[in-house]
Structure 1
Amino acid sequence: MYSKDDIINSIINIGVKRTDTLLVHSSMKSVGIVENGADTVLDAFMEYMKDGLLIFPTHTWAQMNDEYNIFNPETEPSCVGILSNIFRKRPNVIRSLHPTHSVAAYGSYAIEYASGEEKWDTPCPRDGCWGKLYDRRAKILFLGCSLRCNTLLHGVEEWNSIPIRLASTCQQLKIVTPEGQIINRPLHRHYNPLCDVSEHYGKMLEPFMCLGIAKKGYIGDAGSILCDAVGMADLTTLFLKRNPDLFIDNNPVPTEWYIKKY
């Protein structure tokens, strides 16, 4: 059974600093048996990161649709795991107002980081929370999950205007503000008629590891990957310039794209 101190030591060993900006994609069941369960895992992250900025995705893309179209950040559950759902309810955690791709943040810059998401009409705009990860030189931890969960790469495709990634028409969604007002937020949802491109994001692990952009370790029993957001975004951008359809299939990235031969 893992204790809070065990989890903190795992966070340190994988390479997270106390003052980092850290976003965590998570699978709690992969962590194994922890004293007091998910709450202890969050206690460990929040205690260790109290001088940094800790972020969990609190996405709602799975349930928002044409009929169920009002996003209330105070009450709407996240569709991306138990840790995100507990975290969003913690004291001093700020949840952004994006109707499908919200995040929840904890730390001295949480309000600034999470603000403004109601303004955007795409899932991962460059000036929104996912772009701010790049600006803050964040780290992204895949806690017991794979790079198929890598929402940042959705953002990179969006920022590079890769064709057939967003619906041409808007879904008419609404957002409940903290003041109780309802605002309209037409949104171009993720869309690709050929495949779910995120299923192929895992092909980036080998080049990320090879170039030192990603590092593997364990949090409890969970095999985990810690990545540099800037490195991931920049390398993926270079690859997309070579092949905008990089993620249409699961063919490996050509090694000559990232391994120099002397």
Structure 2
Amino acid sequence: MVHSDFTVSASRPPQAPADQNHPHTRDSLAKDMRTLGLRSGDLVLVHASLKSLGWTSGGAVAVIQALQDVLTPWGTLVVPTHTSGLTDPTRWQNPPVPPEWVPQVQASLPAFDPERTPSEWMGAVAETLRTWPDVQRSHHPHVSFAAWGADAAAIVDDHELSMSLGEGSPLARLYDHHARVLLIGTNNCTSLHLAEVRAGTATAITQGAPVLRDGQRQWVQFSDLDYDDTHFADILDEFAAAQPAHTSTGRLGSAVARLLEQRPLVDFATGALGRKVE
């Protein structure tokens, strides 16, 4: 996922893409979102590549404001705020950790703090919302979600440690609440991990993380899955072709965006993943 903006210098303004003849703004993005089908009162999980939007006046802040304008206080905006740097260092690959370092790394990683720990690799829009007023964040040390709006607490509370993207996760609460998924310039779609859990296609593993318990840092281990997004882009295309009534595709700024119904998507992906491993 791309998570960088145009670079702004004092001497030279950022350059717009060759095919962009006007800046995108809070108002124009909100108009595009409504055209795509997003509505007041919607509950939506957003994955966004800010760079894909093109030259946007206000950057990630404008994107969030546009989403809030469309959803209104009766809606709910959710983003992934994952923290892969707090996973078990024995599993790190890019780069791997020398085995002799592992005990020290496990002992020294700062404990996850939902108010202070920044997200990693989630993009500027997600990280900006994480710090937004009145946003709530789930307490999982690896795969937390942040939410703003009417149903924020119902989505992020009680995120279970084990099986982190399964039935005890915000993804399952989004499913229960008939949420929608908005993909802006990306095929990253965390909801498909819920389908992985339900399809039983992922490998069981033991994970570890530094957490706070009664104000004290502890390293804890828990059961999870080795999640795999290899087939996600194909599944999204197959779902759009098979169930067009549950998918809307269009331009959002300069990006190609998809608005999908999460429950039909997860149900479809659960079956598709099962067939792919047969």
Bin for the TM-score computed over the shorter chain: 0.7 to 0.9
- RMSD of the TM alignment (CA)? 2.1
For 1:139 and 1:150, the matched residues in 2 are separated by: 11
Q: Report the CA distance between 1:182 and its aligned residue.
A: 4.5
- Percent identity of the aligned residues? 26
Partner of 2:181 in structure 1? 140
Do the aligned partners of 1:121 and 1:185 also contact (CA within 8 Å) in 2? no
Larger radius of gyration: 2
Aligned length: 234
Task: Answer yes or no: is 1:229 the counterpart of 2:231.
Answer: no
Task: Answer yes or no: is 1:203 the counterpart of 2:234.
Answer: yes
Task: Answer yes or no: is 1:7 the counterpart of 2:39.
Answer: no
Partner of 2:118 in structure 1? 77
Partner of 2:14 in structure 1? none
Task: Answer yes or no: is 1:188 the counterpart of 2:223.
Answer: yes
Aligned partner letter, 2:192: L
Do the aligned partners of 1:73 and 1:176 also contact (CA within 8 Å) in 2? no
2:52 to 19, 26, 30: 30
For 1:17 and 1:230, the matched residues in 2 are separated by: 17
Partner of 2:97 in structure 1? none
Q: Report the CA distance between 1:238 and its aligned residue.
A: 2.5
Do the aligned partners of 2:154 and 2:173 also contact (CA within 8 Å) in 1? no
Q: Return structure 1 stretches of 4+ with deviation > 6 angstroms.
A: none
Partner of 2:197 in structure 1? 158
Task: Answer yes or no: is 1:175 the counterpart of 2:237.
Answer: no
For 1:69 and 1:37, the matched residues in 2 are separated by: 30
For 1:189 and 1:157, the matched residues in 2 are separated by: 12
Deviations 1:125-153 (A, max 9, x none): 2132011111111110111111xx12111
Partner of 1:98 in structure 2? 140
Aligned partner letter, 1:111: A
SS of 1:216 mapped into structure 2: strand
Deviations 1:154-199 (A, max 9, x none): 11111232252x31xx22323337x84556652335427xxxx313
> TM-score, normalised on structure 1?
0.82
Give structure 2 stretches of 5+ with no counterpart: 1-22, 90-105
> TM-score, normalised on structure 2?
0.77
1:17 to 30, 36, 39: 39
